[in-house]
Amino acid sequence: MYDMLTVYIYVGASTSEPLDMAMKNTGVLLKRMRALLKNTNYVSDPLQAYIIPCTDAHQSEYLAPCDRRRAFISGFTGTTGTAVITENHASLWTERRYFQQADKQLDNNWTLLKEGMPGTPTIHEWLSRVLPVGSKVGIDPLLISYEDWIDLSSKLEMSGHSLHAISQNLVDLIWDDRPPPPSNIIEPMSLVYTGNEMLFVYSKSLYYVYVLNPCFK
């Protein structure tokens, strides 16, 4: 779909930043997070689990510092991986290239689940094992695609659980020194790269969102 999108460069995201392999003590953060799972000021009903993806509202892989929520809560700074927190567990899934890094950065409050390895459960399989039937699982709806939401929701329902959109990101509530959003100047790239004028791109994007998206039917 790159032919229909205007491409922007965010110069604040870098893959060459120095890697801090120090282990972070996450005990206090997890205690605060678990308290929020039950706080009806932020959730309509108490949650039994909360999923923290490593992405932003644009499904980016390389994130601005203010969007590195999974890194903040877990201490693991790899560019891929998902954290899940329950009342009694904190687990992190990541891929093979980050196994060694995760082993070094995660403290003993976390369990590393190695994606692609024999016997490693998927997130929904793991939740089905550790949660009582009828549990509510929360996630920030801006951090999951429509397709992934439908897939995860249906799988959780098959196990007797339900997926819930939590509009206020719970990590943000305990991230006391969260960096501000980037303020870089955004410059649209030329037609050589985008292939279409901006107005055409906007119109076509709105068509995909409001006409073809089943959520609006």
Mean pLDDT by 10 residues, the chain (217 residues): 39 52 90 97 96 95 95 97 98 98 98 97 98 98 95 97 97 97 86 86 84 64
The CATH class, in words, for 26-174 is alpha beta
Q: Extract the tokens encoding 190.
A: 């030329």
Q: Residue 17: what pLDDT?
A: 55
Residue 128 — φ and ψ, nearest 5°? -65, -30
- Is the separation of the CB atoms in 147 and 59 below 8 Å? no
Domain-wise residue ranges, the chain: 26-174
DSSP state of 65: G
For residues 139 and 165, give the distance between their C-alpha atoms in angstroms, rounded to a whole number. Answer: 5
